[in-house]
Structures are given as C-alpha cells and as structure tokens.
Copies of this chain bind each other. A is one copy, B any other.
C-alpha cells in the first residue's frame, strides 16, 4: 500500500506530485491554483464585508484521527473557522500546514484531505495556501494539521469579553461535552453505547443569526477546557463573576453517563461545535429563540448569569452553590 515517504516533504519531484495530485485537486480554487508562495486575496473582498480582519490559528493533534462525527481534517476546518467566526466575521480563507509522519498510509491522508475539502466547501471556505512537511518515523504521530483563518468583521460589531457586565446572562448553543466524551469513550475503550458523537461543526450560520441583535456581548466556542474554561476567561477579562445553574445545563444522557462513570464534569469537557454567549438580560429570550430556530441551536439554553462576586460558581440541583475552579489540566491530552 502506498505510504508517505520522506521524499514527499523534500521539495523535490515527490513533493510536487503529492501537492499536484492530492492537495491541488482536493482544494482546487483560483487563488490556490496560482501556486505562488503566497495566496493573493483582493482586499476589496474583505473591505466589502467589514472594517477589521479577523485572523486566528490552531494546530490539530487529535488522537484518534477518525471518530464518530468527524476526523482531524473536519476538525481542522471547523476549529479555526469558529475561532474567526466568534468575532462576527464570516470565515472565508484558510491556510493549511501538514506535518506528516513517514509511513503514513496515503489512503489515510486522502481521507483526511477529502474531509477537509468537503467541510470547507460546505461552509463557503476556500483553502488558499499551504505547506507540507514530512518527519521520519517516530518523530511525529501520523499527522498534525495547522490551519490559520481569515475573514472580515462587520463595522460596528464589537463583540468581546470586555463588554461583559454584571446582570448579563450566559447561554450555550447546545449540549455540552459531546466531543470530549466521544474521544474519551473511543480512546479509553469505555464501551459506552448510545448517542455519543462529536459535535464538530462550523458555527457560522448560528453566529450570523445573532449579528444584528442588540445586546449580544461576547461569543466563544467552548473547546479545550469546556464551558468552565470559557466562564473563567469571561470572568477574568470582565472583572466580574459567573454563576451557573447545574439544572439548566443541557447534557446528553450518554455524556452524563460517561461523566458519572469517571467522576468527571461535562463543564470541563471539550466541545467542537458549541457557543458560550453572553447577552444583556433583556435580549436573552430573543437570542434563545433565534438559536432554537437554527439546526445547530436546537438545544440552546440559558445556563447562568454574570454577577459582581468574582470567580465561577455552580448552583447544584439542591440549591447548594460551590466554586468551580479551573482545573490544572483537562482530563485528556490530544482532544483536538
């Protein structure tokens, strides 16, 4: 079976073939087809939609490469697109850097690249520039992907953590911990059955539905560290506190099962297609209704509020409040 060799990363003929036969075919678009050392994007395509460039990057090292609901390629598009999109920008262009381990099956790479291309195309995103490195067997684990993304932020839209104030309300766009629990189940061989599937998705439609709603203040996609990590960032940046209601947290029963089994909290689990949103109290019901109209927002819920007392707290099912610390580490490495 055909495998990646060191020659595929060497700048010689083998690399040109890999680029030509795999990447250029899968990602084909006029900007990429120029094959210069950089993509050249007309600035009027950015200024027509906003006044600031949103620019973000993430590397993806997830293990395993394929999982229910997605794979590293889909994740590499969704994750970076979402980091751009939470600014209010529509993510439009991605760069893509592969680090491949010598011996990687070509069929595995093809499956990943095909998935990236399909995810990007469905979200109106084009992959316009890239890079491929190959390292000797044992110097990396199969494949790592970095993507960087850009889009333009509409004029007048200033979503950000510093807008957050006491009295605001915190929502999430759906069930918590689906991605983390799926990877945990798969990797640790927990053998949990039921509806365990990564929520990996591009959130642009959900976010754009909120674009013109006054009172929306800050958005984050709650990935590594889960909603708890985002709540801590919101609290630290705004100088306020966050209080969450345990009974209000939307969690699938399969995810709750995995958490109970292992003594873990779904608030700390990674999501790959969920927003944490802070809005003015007066806008909360409108935002909730808008989220519910979207396929990706069916299980949106109001889960807490911004309070004066610093820190993050959770009110349990019996009304007892406890402080939620930010854990030193997440339960799982290589979750994304």
Residues of A within 8 A of B (CB): 5-7, 9-16, 34-44, 46-47, 50-61, 63, 83-84, 86-87, 89, 93, 95-99, 102, 128-131, 133-136, 138-141, 144, 146, 148, 150, 152-153, 160-161, 220-221, 223-226, 229, 233, 237, 270, 326-330, 333-334
From the candidates B39, B52, B84, B220, name the one contacting A55 in the complex (CB within 8 A). B39
Q: With A and B bound together, what is the CA distance between A131 and B57 in angstroms? A: 6
A55 touches B93 (CB 8 A): yes
B40 touches A334 (CB 8 A): no
Q: What's the dominant secondary structure at chain A's contact region?
A: mixed
Q: Cβ of A59: which chain B residues have Cβ within 8 Å of it?
A: 97-99, 131, 133, 146
How many whole Å from A91's CB to the nearest CB in chain B? 9
- Chain copies in complex: 2
Q: Cβ of A237: which chain B residues have Cβ within 8 Å of it?
A: 35
B40 touches A10 (CB 8 A): no
B43 touches A86 (CB 8 A): no
Q: Cβ of A328: which chain B residues have Cβ within 8 Å of it?
A: 7, 10, 12-14
Q: Cβ of A144: which chain B residues have Cβ within 8 Å of it?
A: 99, 140, 144
How many whole Å from A130's CB to the nearest CB in chain B? 7
How many whole Å from A221's CB to the nearest CB in chain B? 7
From the candidates B11, B38, B87, B225, name the one contacting A37 in the complex (CB within 8 A). B87
A7 touches B329 (CB 8 A): yes
